[in-house]
Structure 1
Amino acid sequence: MTHVTGPDGQPRAQRLPPRARRLVVAAYVLLCAAVAMDLLQDPQWTVSPVLATAPVLASIGSRRPFVPLFVGLGALALVGPLVLADDEVPLTVHLTSGFTVLAITSVSTANVLLVATRERELLQSRSVAEAAQHTLLRPPPERLDGLRVAVRYLAAAAEARVGGDLYEVLVTPYGTRLLMGDVRGKGLAAIDTAAAVLGTFREAAQVEPSLAAVAGRLDAAMGRRRPGEEFVTAVLVEVAGPGRAEMVNCGHLPPLRCRPGRSGPEVDEVPTPEPQPPLALLGMAGGAYRGRAFAFERGDLLLLYTDGVTEARDAAGRFYPLADRLATLHETAPAALLDRVVADLLAYAGGELSDDAALLAVRREH
């Protein structure tokens, strides 16, 4: 069950899933039927202990403490009529039932209050994390140095799952440089790491003539933070000379290249000749990052993305086939293409994602 805030800023539960809602309704029906039978049937037995389930049922899905409190007090009030109806049942049985109802009402009310308080704290933390994340991830201009650019960021639906996906597009003296990355982990720690990566990239991309040197700077900056405790997968792309581009892949998913074809887009992965480690792990693997040139001609579109896209699953547990879906889309404008991909991705995953997802599309116009 997912929780949202109401107009007063308090956590408010959404409706229970249909199956759970039917079970709760059935429990209420059984409780009412038991009380009615007790009032109308043999006075030698009683179901008054069952009334203790009423405040528990009322607390399911509720974030208002007075709901189980009032329901529990109402159940307690029903003990009186049952005492009169069941005059052959020992009074101690009814007294025990009354104390049980009162105790469980108190526990249920306290539990709802505790859950609502913790959810409010969680929502506040998530709001701070999302604000920090949105400040870091600045939307790039639509047109940059002969390129058309579009970005889409999808936050996960799971609670407190603010992620560390990051992207950047910069015009530098050496061409337009792109970055797409994914920090291991979630929450404020991941955003702190993403901020360090973006800050280093924005400085190094402007002064380092080699894209591989930029990747080396990022790795060194990560290594100085908490060695061995965190890493970032990243892919860097430089678009400079006509018809060509260069890529350095630091353990990230390979970008997809869409080229105009006679019967529709032709989609392929930009090849990575050999695996290279994520940022912060280069020292363990040894060597240095190396760039690889690839064809990126006029009309081609390059799509960078994080694993929140390709690891989205449908109801049968199958991963989202991004490359196959791209081959069926005929939009050439990056913004329109990403809108179609996002709509298709959400429909495929049932309306929500389990992990943050970022997409960066770049189309070469000159």
Structure 2
Amino acid sequence: MTKFVVVEGRTLKQAMKIISAIVERYNTIPILSHAKITHRAEGLRITGTDLDIEAHIDLDVVDGGGGDWSVCIGVQALAGIARAAGVMDVRIERADNAMEARISVGDGAAFYELQILPEDDFPEIGGKQGDLIEMFTNGMLTATLDKVSGSISTEETRYYLNGVCWHITKQDRRFVATDGHRLSLCTYTPEGGEPASRIIPRKTVKIISNHLANQNLKIYDVDTGKLDIVAPGITIRTKLIDGTYPDYSRVLPSRHDFTLDLKRDEIIAAIDQATATGGQRGAAIKFSNQNGRAVIERRSGDFGNAKVKTSTPWPAGKVEPQPFAFNSRYLRDVAAGCQGAIEMRMTEPGAPFSIFDEDKTMTRVLMPMRA
């Protein structure tokens, strides 16, 4: 009996986008550059893994036969064929007693013979799916992660910062990310639960954001140190970062002596103007008072000095705040993620600044730097 399956090129292409995002392009272990295709009575399942993240994607089949069978095909080759197929059907055939697969597109318009690897060598992340932790509807998970993911650290030495901390307390539920210079915290619901803290890796966050937007997602516990993120026809199993997330509440300012009211578009334009001459990415920009208005200055021995005036009133009070400075890239990224008017709240020089906008679920913290 011939072992074959026929699927729509478009659905295969969409599945391979997710698989390609998980599987590393270059691997020292050959099987990790392959996807496992499993034909069953229920349909077709495609699996890809990098040993930390694993995706199972179920596809409807146009036609199929040969009972239950599997084949491991190179991800880059299969993704390329799916892209080239367009709206045409793709037929995948498992050759008996040969380490090859035959793939045809449409009515034989294109034909491929590909080397395969033994399906028994394909690794899987073990674990039994446990209890449902939470369900996010209408793309809420992606939207919430996008609010904080810009603050994820890329510094490998503090590996526990290389992800988003999903923190459930008795009072609320929140996602938080920090790289030690900036912090983004989203309290997405005031309903608490059994206290727990899980660190979702940066790569997993990116896959959710890029490929599961606008989906209804269920998150399940899996043994120790893993999660299942489930969408219709898709299951992403991910290992969590094994470590203790720092007590970020210690850097949240408990009081604010001054408030600087900023206009989002104006402050972004002012940062761009102050750094227009080039030079170091993330150079320091200083805020100071000039005739009751906030001005932004950037000084560089190699690229000259720049001064940009804003319409923002300098805070008045019993004690006038001293000039302060930020990393220009960090401040611009924070401002770009804000909605509407921005409030920058400060205490004494050198202390963290709190930044708020019209999104009441968000708290942002930015560390100052020397100008």
What TM-score, normalized to structure 1?
Answer: 0.23
Greater Cα radius of gyration, structure 1 or 2: 1
Larger % of helix: which? 1
Which structure has more relative contact order (CA 8 Å, sep 6+)? It is 1
Structure whose residues are more often strand by fraction: 2
Q: TM-score, normalised by structure 2?
A: 0.23
